[in-house]
Amino acid sequence: MKTTGNELRGIVASPGIATGRAFVYVKPRIPHADNRTEDPAREIRRLKAAVAESVGDLQRLTRRMQERGEDAFVHILRAQQTIAEDESVFDEVATLVREDWLPAEAAVGRVFEQYTEMFNQLRDRDYNKARSADVMDVYKRIVGKLLGLTDTELIGLDSGTIVVAEDLLPSDTAMMDFSRVAALVTERGGVTGHVAIIANTYGIPAAVGVAGVTTHASSGDRMVVDASCGEEALVLVNPDAESERHVAVRRRRLEHHARDLQQYRGMDPITRDGHRIILSANVGSTAELEPARVQGAGSVGLYRTEFLFLKAPVLPDEDAQYEAYRAAAEAFPGSFVIVRTLDVGGDKRIPGISMEQEDNPFLGNRALRLCLARPDLFRTQLRAILRAAVHGDVRIMFPMVGGVPELEEALDVLARTGAELQAEGIECRVDLPVGAMIEVPAAVWVAGELARRVSFLSIGTNDLTQYLTATDRINSAVWEYHRIFDPSLFRAMEMVVAGAHANGAWVGVCGELGGNPLAIPLLIGLGVDELSMSPRAIAEATWLLRTGTYREMQALAEEVLKQDDHRAIRSLLEQFLEKHYTGSGEGRDPQRPCESDDA
Ligand code: PEP
Ligand code: MG
């Protein structure tokens, strides 16, 4: 988006306002090896210093992770320290510098690439893929030192930091301590990509698609991120006093609104005319369970299990997964926990899972497709879920179901896995409810047939929007075509709800739209039975529900379904909130924070 002066604009990926100091995160790039050095001895001295600094960094980070009790990361960092300290690797690099007159960074590149390649070729591909990722991390760390780059690390952030980056992938954010992060700002990324999901999970404001921010801001700059109103985010670098004052007013209003909403936490999610909805949380780890309960979630509508895989030094085995799912079941006694089977691929690459390079990974071997191609991974996870189901109302959900054949295949693997556990005499539950995600347009037209085979459908609006509108969900360059209120989406939902209800299944929405206050009345009006969202959105959703009537929401849905343009839909949704949720009507208290800038 466009930039003026110290003011940049982007897209709101997670709402809120933050001020803080920038940390501009730099990812070292692999340098080309075509130039030669005239002074090999000097290169070897540089190399020694870079290795020593890298080892020092790794030791410091290990201590920090130990303090945080992050044993998995301690394990990874120690393994990386061993690689960095390996004398035979150092000798190989030094030999290349001396004999081929290569600059240190190019020599490091050549040797480390050979090692990563070697690990990738070995048997037990997943384990060695993880080792190869460790080698790559060490390589980047040493090259970063040689190139004199600072700020290549997201681990040791100061409190109140605004992280600025070209892009943030799951592998970048895995070790971040989000309690120290005030906001995230990226040049790339989309409203439903990884940045949006983690920022919403941790309640951190985020702006994506902020063109030029990594060159415009420097580490240490004062920054303001205003992602409080509508779709456009404002990012100020070293703002003047007047702008700061203006933002502070808006921030106070937002905090006031958030405080007002707290009274709705844990209240019955029911409309004024008695229509009940299930409000669930989206989570990705054991640590997120308790905060989700505190925020008033009645259940877990989406457990994104891939995050368990991302944080672990080796792929979590059946027992480790069983413990995680069991903890979720026990955190929500008397209500359901929907465990989604592994959704990797697309932008979610996991160091420990070997995947082919694909030209179009979002259209490739991801999610259920990958699981069906990797029965070892799939069966291990299903076994863990079926065992954990003994401890509560655990349910299974398959992501990226494109049609009846893969759903039937997945159900067949599930049935065989259950039979296998029973034959082994292992305690498990095999009759647990199963659901299918609706994220692939093809699934919309067979929603009824899918629903006949499962207990519930859950609409993944992030991917469904991406595939309906043919816009990559993490590419801000096509953001204006990635229309989250596209008419096709709501017409698709109408079909899914009808197909599910006619076949005795219930329907949820678990994409980011499910927690979007503008969309919530519409989704309810369309007949959705459950909304699953980041926990911090639950209080506002409860307020929206309890303040409105189902009748009004159904009338809104009818109007929306007549529209042919996402702009008209957005304006209908805005008008609806204005009409029914501001002013002094009974139960219609908290003023929305966006109404005007002066207060
Ligand atoms: C979705 O696509 O809407 C969804 C919930 O899945 P994810 O965001 O994890 O792809
Ligand atoms: Mg999805």
State pLDDT tens for residues 170-202.
Answer: 777 877 888 899 999 999 888 878 888 889 888
Rounded distance between C-alpha atoms, residue 476 and residue 454, angstroms = 35
Q: Is 393 in the pocket of ligand 1 (CB under 6 A)?
A: no
Contact 543, 261 (CB under 8 A): yes
* Sequence-separated (6 or more) residues with CB below 8 Å from residue 5: none
| Among candidate residues 209, 165, 197, 157, the one with its CA nearest the CA of residue 184 | 165
Task: Supply 493's token pair.
Answer: 């939902």
Which ligand has the shortest distance to the CA of 533?
A: 1
Rounded distance between C-alpha atoms, residue 196 and residue 211, angstroms = 17
Look up 391 and say whether it is catalytic: no
Look up 371 and say whether it is catalytic: no
Three-class SS state of 232 = strand
- Round the CA-based radius of gyration of the chain to a whole number and report it: 25
Rounded distance between C-alpha atoms, residue 290 and residue 332, angstroms = 9
How far apart are the CA of 253 and the centre of ligand 1, in A?
31
Q: What was the pLDDT predicted at 2? A: 41
Query: How distant, in Å, are the alpha carbons of 251, 258, 461, 494, 591 from that of 255?
Result: 6, 5, 28, 35, 12
Q: Is 511 in the pocket of ligand 1 (CB under 6 A)?
A: yes
Q: Is 140 in the pocket of ligand 1 (CB under 6 A)?
A: no
| Among candidate residues 530, 356, 546, the one with its CA nearest the CA of residue 437 | 530
Q: What is the sign, positive or negative, of the torsion defined by CA atoms of 239, 245, 248, 249?
A: negative
Rounded distance between C-alpha atoms, residue 430 and residue 417, angstroms = 9
Q: What was the pLDDT predicted at 426? A: 98
For ligand 1, pick from 300, 343, 523, 530 the residue to mutate: most ligand atoms within 8 Å of CB. Answer: 343
Orientation angle between helical segments 318-331 and 375-388, nearest 10 degrees: 40
For ligand 1, pick from 198, 350, 462 the residue to mutate: most ligand atoms within 8 Å of CB. Answer: 462
Give the containing element (helix H, strand E) for 379: helix 375-388
Rounded distance between C-alpha atoms, residue 245 and residue 251, angstroms = 10
Rounded distance between C-alpha atoms, residue 224 and residue 243, angstroms = 9
How far apart are the CA of 269 and the centre of ligand 2, in A?
25
Catalytic residue among 194, 216, 566, 580: 194
Q: What was the pLDDT predicted at 597? A: 45
State the fold for domain 273-580: TIM Barrel (3.20.20)
CATH of the structural domain 6-24+160-248, one choice from 3.50.30.10, 1.10.730.10, 3.40.190.10, 3.30.413.10: 3.50.30.10
**CA nearest ligand 1 atom 9, residue:** 304
Neighbours of 272 (CB within 10 A): 16
Rounded distance between C-alpha atoms, residue 444 and residue 462, angstroms = 15
How far apart are the CA of 437 and the centre of ligand 2, in A?
8
Give the containing element (helix H, strand E) for 13: strand 7-14
- Atom of ligand 1 at shortest range from CA of 306: 9
| 40-146 shares the fold of 6-24+160-248 | no
3-state SS string for 110-131: HHHHHHHHHHHHCCCHHHHHHH
**CA nearest ligand 1 atom 8, residue:** 462
Q: What was the pLDDT predicted at 26? A: 83
How far apart are the CA of 399 and the centre of ligand 2, in A?
7
Rounded distance between C-alpha atoms, residue 447 and residue 409, angstroms = 17
Q: What was the pLDDT predicted at 480? A: 87
Domain boundaries, the chain: 6-24+160-248, 40-146, 273-580
Q: What was the pLDDT predicted at 357? A: 83
* Sequence-separated (6 or more) residues with CB below 8 Å from residue 585: none
Q: Is 463 in the pocket of ligand 1 (CB under 6 A)?
A: yes
Which architecture does CATH list for 40-146? Orthogonal Bundle (1.10)
**CA nearest ligand 1 atom 1, residue:** 460
| Among candidate residues 277, 377, 237, 248, the one with its CA nearest the CA of residue 318 | 377
Rounded distance between C-alpha atoms, residue 536 and residue 56, angstroms = 38
Q: What was the pLDDT predicted at 68? A: 76
For ligand 1, pick from 397, 463, 512 the residue to mutate: most ligand atoms within 8 Å of CB. Answer: 463
Q: Is 304 in the pocket of ligand 1 (CB under 6 A)?
A: yes
Rounded distance between C-alpha atoms, residue 176 and residue 155, angstroms = 5
- Listed as ranges, residues in the chain with pLDDT below 70 are 1-5, 30-34, 123-130, 311, 313, 583-599
Q: What was the pLDDT predicted at 273? A: 97
Rounded distance between C-alpha atoms, residue 288 and residue 535, angstroms = 9
The residue assigned the tokens 């209120």 is 485
pLDDT digits (tens, 9 = 90+) for 362-391: 999 999 999 999 999 999 999 999 999 999
Query: How distant, in Å, are the alpha carbons of 197, 395, 539 from that of 262?
Result: 22, 29, 6
Catalytic residue among 216, 510, 566, 580: 510
Q: Is 510 in the pocket of ligand 1 (CB under 6 A)?
A: yes
- Atom of ligand 1 at shortest range from CA of 439: 2
Q: Is 350 in the pocket of ligand 1 (CB under 6 A)?
A: no
| Among candidate residues 115, 148, 130, the one with its CA nearest the CA of residue 28 | 148
| Among candidate residues 468, 494, 463, the one with its CA nearest the CA of residue 481 | 468
pTM above 0.85, yes or no: no
